[in-house]
C-alpha cells in the first residue's frame, strides 16, 4: 500500500502495510508523532505508546498498520496533500534501519556539495531533488512523444569510436585486443548521424550520452545528455520548425507553460551589437546604445584613440542617478572581467558630473544633457573586446521584469571560424556548410556559416547547422582549418569516402537536455538535475572515480605509466 491509496479510504477504516521512510519524529503531551514519507507524499502517524518505539530513528524504512482518522479542524495542515488525515498506529514493523544521517533529508539544506554527491542516494530523497529527477524522466518521455508525432525515428550510435577533433579533448579507452590503440568516447554522434542520412534514412533522433574532457563550469559536465536530431533534405528553417514544435510540446506537457512560435530570430552580428553576447536574455528589454557619434571630435585621449582605430563607444543610459558606491561596484565587477574600467557620466538638472566631465567640449556636453537626471555608462574600444563587458553590465544594471517568462531566440549567421585560446576554430564544427561557398573559399576568416543556436533566457540550449554534403568542400574546410592532407585522410578519410556516394543535403540540431531541465527547474547548476553527476573538477565522490589501476591491470591493456610527480 502507498500513501496516495489513502484517498480511497474513509474515516476509521483500517490501513494495512503502509510503507515508507520515517521523517521528523516529535513528542507532544504523551504522544509521539512522525511523518511517514514514500516516493510521492507524506502522512502523519500518531501513537499514545511512545515508549514502545524508543529505537525508531529518522530514515528507518517501516511498514505501518493502523486506523485512518480525520484530524481535528484546528490541527489540519492545508500545506500538504493529506494534511487533514492521520493514522493511529497499531503496529509498526521496521523493514530496514538507517545509520546516522550525514545531512537531513529536507529542502534548502546548507550542506557541502561534496557530501551531498558522496551520498547522492540520500540527496535524491529530498523533495526538491526528487522533483528534479522526476522532471528529467518526464522530459525524456515528452521528447519521445514529440519525435513520434513528427514521425522521426529513434536510432542509436556507437559509443566506442575513432578519436576526431570536435573542439574539446576526447576521453580515450584503451583496446586490450589492439595493443597501443585507443577508442574515444563520442563528444557527439555527429558523423554517425550524418551517415544515417547518407544511408537513405529520412531522419533520426537519439537521446544521446556525450563526453567531453574540457575545463569545468557550472553548466558543463564531462558526461552529458542531449536530444540529437538529423533531417534528410533539411535546411535551417525545417530544423528550426521541428525544434520549436518540440520545445512547445515539452513545455506544455511537462512544465505547464505555453510559449508562442515561431521564436524570435536575430543574426549573430545583431546579437553582439544589441546585447554584447550571442546568448542574450531577452527578458531584459534594454539594449546597447552606440554613443560614438557624440565623441567624434573629442579631446578625451582614450576615446579619441578608440575612434581613430575604428572602435566604438557603447553603453547604456539608465533613468536613475546611481550613487558613487553603486558605480564603484560596477567598475570593480567589470575590472574583474578584464575591462580597464567603467566610463560614466551623471546628468542631474542638465549638469554633467564624473571624472571625464571637465574634458567634455561644448558639443559633447550638449549631446549628453539631452538625457536628464540619469546615468550614462559606457565602454570604449573594439566591439569584439567590449561586447563581453557590456553584456555583463547589462545583466547587472537591469532587472528581469518577470522571472516566470520564457524568451526563446534563434541566433544565426555565425562566423565560420573564431579565435579560441589563440587558435582558429570552427564556431560550430568543421562539418557545417558555409552560407556562401565561393566566399568561404576566397576569404574563410570572414565567411558566415549555416549555423544556428537556440537560446532560452540567456542560456544556450543547443546548436545546429546545415551540413556539408560535398566531399571536396569537406576536404577544403578541413584544410582551411589547418589540417594537412595526411591528417585529413587519417582522421576523416572514412567519412569523406562516405560523402562520395550521393549524399543528400541534410541538417540537424542538438538540445542540451541537462541545461534545459536546469533552467526549467530553476536549479543552481546542471548537477542538480543529473542523478549522479561529477564535481566541477570531474570527480565522482560517490565511487571515487576516476581511480588508479594496479600495474597488473594496466599490463593487461599494454599500458605503463611514468611516475606522476606533483609540481611545486
Report how far residue 501's alpha carbon sits from residue 493's, in angstroms, rounded to the nearest whole number.
14
How far is C-alpha 361 from the geometric centre of its chain's CA atoms? 47
pLDDT at 243 over 70: yes
Find out whether 558 and 179 touch, Cβ atoms under 8 Å: yes
Report how far residue 32's alpha carbon sits from residue 51's, in angstroms, rounded to the nearest whole number.
9
**Which of 396, 435, 399 lies closest to 414 in space, CA to CA?**
435
Position 404 scores a pLDDT of: 87
Structural domain includes residue 548: no
Res. 568 pLDDT band, cuts 50 70 90? very low
Neighbours of 150 (CB within 10 A): 16
Structural domain includes residue 407: no
Q: What is the CATH number of the domain that holds 62?
A: 2.40.50.140
pLDDT at 167 over 80: no
| Percentage of the chain modeled with pLDDT above 70 | 98
258: left (phi over 0), alpha (psi -120 to 50) or beta: beta
Structural domain includes residue 339: yes
Same domain, 385 and 481: no
Find out whether 225 and 209 touch, Cβ atoms under 8 Å: yes
Handedness of CA 97, 99, 100, 101 (dihedral sign): negative
The grid coordinates of residue 367 equal 549631446
Find out whether 200 and 504 touch, Cβ atoms under 8 Å: no
Find out whether 204 and 171 touch, Cβ atoms under 8 Å: no
The whole domain housing 60 covers 3-96
Find out whether 67 and 15 touch, Cβ atoms under 8 Å: yes
Structural domain includes residue 518: no
Same domain, 332 and 435: no
Domain termination site, one of 96, 118, 153:
96
Report how far residue 37's alpha carbon sits from residue 365's, in angstroms, rounded to the nearest whole number.
68
Same domain, 371 and 476: no
Q: What φ, ψ does residue 265 adopt, rounded to 5°?
A: -135, 130
Same domain, 151 and 245: yes
Same domain, 314 and 208: no
Same domain, 375 and 421: no
The bridge status of strand 408-412 relative to strand 264-267 is parallel
Same domain, 379 and 452: no
Read off the pLDDT of residues 27-36 as tens digits, 9 standing for 90 and up: 998 999 999 9
Read off the pLDDT of residues 307-340 as tens digits, 9 standing for 90 and up: 999 999 999 999 999 999 999 999 999 999 999 9
Q: Which of 161-165, 172-176, 276-280 has the lowest mean pLDDT?
A: 161-165
Same domain, 377 and 471: no
Structural domain includes residue 532: no
Structural domain includes residue 530: no
Cβ-proximal residues to 279 (8 Å cutoff; 6+ apart), any chain: 411, 453, 455, 458, 459, 460
Position 565 scores a pLDDT of: 57
Same domain, 347 and 436: no
Neighbours of 266 (CB within 10 A): 20
Cβ-proximal residues to 381 (8 Å cutoff; 6+ apart), any chain: 306, 311, 312
Q: Which of 378-382, 436-440, 559-563 has the lowest mean pLDDT?
A: 559-563
Position 220 scores a pLDDT of: 86
Q: What φ, ψ does residue 33 adopt, rounded to 5°?
A: -120, 145
- pTM here is 0.93
User: What does the DSSP 8-state code read for residue 128?
Assistant: H
Q: What is the CATH number of the domain that holds 354?
A: 3.30.1360.30
Average pLDDT for 421-449:
92
Report how far residue 433's alpha carbon sits from residue 510's, in angstroms, rounded to the nearest whole number.
16
Res. 421 pLDDT band, cuts 50 70 90? confident
From residue 435, alpha-carbon distances to 18, 159, 450, 474 in Å are 63, 31, 5, 14
Average pLDDT for 237-258:
98
Cβ-proximal residues to 123 (8 Å cutoff; 6+ apart), any chain: 116, 117, 129
Same domain, 147 and 201: yes
Structural domain includes residue 332: yes
Structural domain includes residue 543: no
Return the beta strands (E) in 97-217 as ranges: 172-174, 182-184, 203-211
Cβ-proximal residues to 54 (8 Å cutoff; 6+ apart), any chain: none
Domain termination site, one of 473, 495, 513:
513
Domain termination site, one of 513, 529, 545:
513
Q: What φ, ψ does residue 14 adopt, rounded to 5°?
A: -80, 140
Read off the pLDDT of residues 38-87 as tens digits, 9 standing for 90 and up: 999 999 999 999 999 999 999 999 999 999 999 999 999 998 999 999 99
Find out whether 189 and 112 touch, Cβ atoms under 8 Å: no
Number of folded domains in the chain?
3
Q: What is the CATH number of the domain that holds 495?
A: 3.30.930.10
User: What does the DSSP 8-state code read for residue 350?
Assistant: T
Same domain, 374 and 314: yes
Same domain, 392 and 422: no
Q: What is the overall mean pLDDT for the chain?
A: 95
Amino acid at each position: 500500500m502507498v500513501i496516495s491509496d489513502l484517498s480511497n479510504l474513509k474515516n476509521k477504516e483500517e490501513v494495512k502495510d503502509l510503507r515508507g521512510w520515517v521523517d521528523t519524529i516529535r513528542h507532544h503531551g504523551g504522544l509521539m508523532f512522525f511523518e511517514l514519507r514514500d516516493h510521492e507524499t507524506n502522512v502523519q502517524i500518531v501513537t499514545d505508546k511512545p515508549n514502545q518505539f524508543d529505537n525508531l530513528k529518522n530514515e528507518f524504512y517501516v511498514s505501518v498498520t493502523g486506523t485512518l482518522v480525520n484530524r481535528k479542524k484546528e490541527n489540519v495542515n492545508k500545506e500538504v496533500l493529506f494534511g487533514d488525515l492521520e493514522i493511529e498506529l497499531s503496529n509498526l514493523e521496521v523493514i530496514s534501519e538507517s545509520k546516522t544521517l550525514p545531512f537531513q533529508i529536507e529542502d534548502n539544506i546548507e550542506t557541502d556539495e561534496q557530501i551531498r554527491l558522496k551520498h547522492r542516494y540520500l540527496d535524491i530523497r529530498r523533495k526538491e531533488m526528487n522533483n528534479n529527477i522526476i522532471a528529467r524522466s518526464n522530459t525524456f518521455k515528452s521528447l519521445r512523444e514529440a519525435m513520434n508525432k513528427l514521425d522521426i525515428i529513434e536510432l542509436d550510435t556507437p559509443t566506442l569510436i575513432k578519436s576526431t577533433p570536435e573542439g574539446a579533448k576526447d576521453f580515450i579507452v584503451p583496446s586490450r585486443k589492439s595493443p597501443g590503440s585507443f577508442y574515444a568516447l563520442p563528444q557527439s554522434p555527429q558523423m554517425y548521424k550524418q551517415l544515417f542520412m547518407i544511408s537513405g534514412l529520412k531522419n533520426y533522433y537519439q537521446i544521446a550520452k556525450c563526453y567531453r574532457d574540457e575545463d569545468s563550469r557550472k553548466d558543463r559536465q564531462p558526461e552529458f545528455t542531449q536530444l540529437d536530431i538529423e533531417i534528410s533534405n533539411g535546411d535551417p528553417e525545417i530544423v528550426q520548425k521541428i525544434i520549436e514544435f518540440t520545445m512547445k510540446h515539452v513545455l506544455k506537457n511537462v512544465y505547464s507553460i505555453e510559449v508562442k512560435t515561431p521564436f524570435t530570430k536575430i543574426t549573430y552580428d545583431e546579437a553582439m551589437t544589441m546585447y554584447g553576447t550571442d546568448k542574450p536574455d531577452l527578458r531584459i528589454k534594454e539594449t546597447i546604445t552606440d554613443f560614438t557619434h557624440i565623441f567624434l571630435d573629442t579631446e578625451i585621449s582614450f576615446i579619441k584613440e578608440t575612434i581613430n582605430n575604428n572602435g566604438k563607444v557603447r553603453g547604456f543610459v539608465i533613468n536613475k542617478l546611481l550613487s558613487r558606491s553603486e558605480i564603484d561596484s560596477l567598475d570593480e565587477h567589470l575590472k574583474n572581467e578584464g575591462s580597464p574600467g567603467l566610463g560614466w557620466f551623471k546628468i542631474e538638472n542638465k549638469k554633467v558630473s564624473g571624472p571625464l566631465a571637465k574634458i567634455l567640449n561644448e558639443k559633447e556636453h550638449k549631446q549628453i544633457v539631452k538625457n536628464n537626471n540619469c546615468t550614462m555608462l559606457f565602454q570604449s574600444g573594439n566591439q569584439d573586446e567590449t561586447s563581453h563587458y557590456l553584456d555583463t553590465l547589462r545583466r547587472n544594471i537591469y532587472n528581469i521584469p518577470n522571472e516566470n517568462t520564457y524568451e526563446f531566440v534563434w541566433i544565426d549567421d555565425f562566423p565560420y571560424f573564431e579565435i579560441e585560446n589563440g587558435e582558429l576554430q570552427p564556431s560550430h564544427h568543421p562539418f557545417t556548410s558555409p552560407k556562401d561557398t565561393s566566399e568561404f573559399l576566397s576569404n574563410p576568416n570572414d565567411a558566415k556559416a549555416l549555423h544556428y543556436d537556440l537560446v532560452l533566457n540567456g542560456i544556450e540550449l543547443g546548436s545546429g547547422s546545415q551540413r556539408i554534403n560535398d566531399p571536396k568542400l569537406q576536404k577544403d574546410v578541413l584544410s582551411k582549418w589547418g589540417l594537412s592532407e595526411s591528417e585529413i585522410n587519417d582522421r576523416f578519410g572514412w567519412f569523406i569516402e562516405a560523402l562520395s556516394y550521393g549524399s543528400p543535403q541534410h541538417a540537424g540540431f542538438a538540445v542540451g537536455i541537462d541545461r534545459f531541465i536546469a533552467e526549467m527547474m530553476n536549479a543552481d547548476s546542471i548537477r542538480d538535475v543529473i542523478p549522479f553527476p561529477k564535481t566541477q573538477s570531474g570527480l565522482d565522490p560517490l565511487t571515487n572515480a576516476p581511480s588508479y589501476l594496479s600495474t597488473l591491470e594496466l599490463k593487461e591493456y599494454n599500458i605503463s605509466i611514468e611516475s606522476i610527480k606533483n609540481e611545486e
